[in-house]
Structure 1
Amino acid sequence: MDLPVVEHSKQKRPSLKADPISELIRGSSCQEQALYVLLAATGMRISEALALETKHFINNGRTIMVEQQVEKDTPRIVLHLKTNAAKREIDLHPDIAEYLRKYITGRTGLLFHTANGTPYLHNKLEGRWLTPRLIKMGLEQKGMGWHAFKRFRKTWLRGQRCLEDINNFWMAHRPQTMSELYSHLHEELQLRLDEAERVGYGFVLPASKDVSVVPKSQQKNGAEVAA
């Protein structure tokens, strides 16, 4: 059976640039702002980010363990990931680690959750948070969703000449060449931490005073319920 030829050049793969990401972060707060920062600084899939818990931060907050994800159409966390390479560790720039450390102070469990304490559904959250902002900024187009943050991070890492083995490890991309298959650079924690600091993150973080931490007494009333 003949299958259609996929022309990658014609596929819609829009990516957010540094200035729009900075604007998204600047114009938001609390959970929404923290989610934009996390996605742009790590390249995590949205399903992984929404399943992130405080216990997944190690190495004094400099490293995130990716071990679970939220199911696509059900607000439930599952322990299987999209690919084998997706089970990984992602190292953070010190500035990002400090921002997230302030965000999670006083929190336990999920970093992002509804008023009922359940995980968000990413498609509902996209329609509630991201899409309206992109429309207002004149950037909304087909394919310009959560995955655009991952494309931004990959582009940034390549532009900064990030070590390819570490780049692939952070981004959950399988090794392709024999050199990559034989390399074990991803096991060198200090090298990874140094590389995370060297390559940076490419967007403007809000000032420390703008990092909103919702008191426990207000978290239930202030969180949105995913339909």
Structure 2
Amino acid sequence: MWPKRTKKPQYRLLKVLCASAGLRLGEALRIDIRNMSPDFATVKITQKAWKSQVHDFLKTDSGRREIDLHSSVAAMPKEYIGERKSGLLFCSKTGKPLQQSNILRRTLHPILAELNQPKCGAHAFRRFRLTWLRENAVPKDLEHFCMGHADQEIGDIYSQLENNIKFRKEK
């Protein structure tokens, strides 16, 4: 049985962006509409949100990057943003960044419970993306760039290839 659809478009888009681009949740929550290309296919990561605060620094220097989105993903923010020209892509009614704990408690954890899956944090989206990159033999330098990693060892910690028995058997 599949879970009920995420009712709010902003949460649906947030999850798709984090999973398809490997964004840290704090990075995604601080995306300014002005940091998206006119065709919505590229997004600049320059800041992060933490507890409804804006930080002008990222976890690592490598975290400052431009993310290219697949055309099917790029269509989603275009539709969601509509005519807005500025402001945060994901924000509260008052314009502040959404709080990570609320996102987990109100959207992700209920979906996981409905699927009888254990709770997890937003980092699961990054692990999913990294595992997908590795399963598809993306060159390491591109992997590091996409994930905003400074070194290879971090990706080795995040990768879930060891748990993907079907993939390992096919190789």
Bin for the TM-score computed over the shorter chain: 0.7 to 0.9
2:37 to 52, 58, 67: 58
CA displacement 1:112-156 (0-9 Å, x = unmatched) = 111111111101221111111111111123xx1100000001111
Root-mean-square deviation over aligned CA pairs: 2.0
Q: CA deviation at 1:43?
A: 0.6
How big is the shift at 1:176?
A: 4.5
**Residue 133 (1) aligns with residue 111 (2):** yes
1:167 to 143, 163, 167: 143
Cα gap change, 1:59/1:86 in structure 2, threshold over 3 Å: closer, same or farther?
A: same
Structure index of larger Rg? 1
- Structure 2 distance, partners of 1:151, 1:173, is 13
| Residue of 96, 100, 118 corresponding to 2:77 | 100
Which residue does the alignment assign to 2:22? 43
Return 5+ residue gaps in structure 1 as ranges.
1-19, 178-227
Deviation at 1:49, TM superposition (A): 0.4
TM-score when normalising by structure 2? 0.81
Question: How do 1:184-203 and structure 2 match up within 5 A?
Answer: none
Segments of structure 2 that go 5 or more residues without pairing to the other structure are 154-171
Deviates more, 1:168-177 or 1:94-103: 168-177
Write the distance in 1 (CA, Å) between the matches of 2:20 and 2:61: 22
Question: Any idea what the Cα deviations from partners look like across 1:84-112, whole Å, max 9, x if unmatched?
Answer: 11111111111111222222222231111
Structure 1, 54-63 or 81-90: larger mean CA deviation: 54-63
Report % sequence identity: 34
| 3-state secondary structure, aligned to 2:129 | helix
The Cα of 1:59 is off from its aligned counterpart by: 6.2
- Note the 1:1-227 alignment, pairs <5 A: 27-28=5-6, 29-58=8-37, 60-71=39-50, 73=51, 75-107=52-84, 108-141=86-119, 144-176=120-152
User: Quick check: 2:30–2:54 contact (8 Å CA) kept in 1?
Assistant: yes
CA–CA distance in structure 1, aligned partners of residues 23 and 123 of structure 2: 9
Query: Cα deviation per residue 1:184-224 (whole Å; 9 max; x = unaligned)?
Result: xxxxxxxxxxxxxxxxxxxxxxxxxxxxxxxxxxxxxxxxx
Deviates more, 1:105-114 or 1:43-52: 105-114
Question: Which structure has more RCO (C-alpha within 8 Å, separation ≥ 6)?
Answer: 1
TM-score, normalised via structure 1 length: 0.62
Return structure 1 stretches of 4+ with deviation > 2 angstroms.
none
**Alpha-carbon shift at residue 175 of structure 1 (Å):** 4.1
3-state SS of paired residue (1:55): helix
